[in-house]
Amino acid sequence: MTSSKIELSVRNHDRDLAGMTYVYPVLSRRAGGVSVGVNLNPNNACNWHCVYCQVPDLVRGAAPLIDLARLEAELDGFLNALVNGDWLLRNAPEGAREVRDIALSGNGEPTSAAAFPEVVELIHRLRQKYGLTRVPLRLITNGSLLGRERVRAGIARMGEIGGEVWFKVDGGRPEDIERINGVRMPVARVVRNLAACAQLCPTWAQTCVFRWDGVGPDAQALAAYLDVLERAGSDRLRGVLLYGVARPSMQPEAPRVSPVSLDELECVAEAIRKKGLTVTVSP
């Protein structure tokens, strides 16, 4: 692991910042501090193509085979630097010098890794080793692979060890899902997967709101989105993580994507709250 100073910023989530294959630190708006990222998709491959995605050179596909020994060595060394060294003092801004989570995220869909359940166990061992069991393990996922037994097993294990899932839900109509996430997926499957995930592990819906060709989501799109949350079971969800685009998209659709105002985000948040859900807003 590099010992050089790293400039952490909410506007820079470069996975190569720390010079490692799998482990990268970020300053997370939604986590509220330093997030230790675990990138299981160093090949920049994802089964979705979200128009706001900040991953450069994104390709369709799945995670490669994971070198578990290398992942463990990288994470072990980095957690040691955080807990026993001065990494946070040197690299994190004042007021954000706290490890808020270890996040399975990165440059693609993490649950597409065949070793996903083994990675969950590996991270948990190191959390125990460094006394970080109060630091949650978070999975940031599009939720599309909940039909796979190994994915459900890994998520269920996360539920047992105090983890949580941030499950992407950006639209409630087939045309919205296809336009935003680049996939053709029945809404019923999104509902089913979200409900199943919430039964296995504490789950938040995470939703990106933005302008498309200068226009924000209309009333019909918002109503369909809210319907997905209700059908999945609003009472099962921890809430909704609502956020805007703080960093530029690296996809060909980038010129069509622009931020909404904080007032617009708050209007969406209020509509969600009326359904009985907790909402956090990150512009």
Encode pLDDT of 138-156 as tens digits: 999 999 999 999 999 999 9
C-alpha distance from residue 68 to each of 38, 54, 64, 130, 262 (Å): 12, 26, 12, 19, 41
Beta bridge pairs of residue 102: 36, 137
pLDDT at 259: 96
Rounded CA-CA distance 151/268 in Å is 31
Inform me whether the pLDDT recorded for 93 exceeds 80.
no
Distance of alpha carbon 264 from its chain centroid, rounded? 22
Spell out where 184-235 has E strands: 203-208, 211-212
Cα–Cα nearest to 29, from 124, 131, 166: 166
Assess whether pLDDT exceeds 70 at residue 12.
Answer: no
**Percent of all residues in the chain with a pLDDT value above 70, rounded to a whole number:** 91
Give the tens place of pLDDT for each residue, 50-70: 999 999 999 999 999 999 999
100 — pLDDT class (breaks 50, 70, 90)? confident
pLDDT confidence bin for 30, thresholds 50/70/90: low
pLDDT at 91: 80
pLDDT of 29 above 80: no
Q: Using the 8-state DSSP alphabet, how is residue 201 labeled?
A: S
Percent of the chain with pLDDT over 90: 80
Higher pLDDT, 86 or 79: 79
Confidence label for 7 from pLDDT (cuts 50, 70 and 90): low
- Per DSSP, the residues of 45-76 read EES---TT---TT-EES------HHHHHHHHH
Confidence of residue 13 (pLDDT cuts 50, 70, 90): very low
Task: For residues 241-260, give the mean pLDDT.
Answer: 95
Are the beta carbons of 212 and 171 closer than 8 angstroms?
A: no
Q: What is the reported pLDDT for 9?
A: 44
Q: What is the pLDDT of residue 88?
A: 75
pLDDT value, residue 210: 97
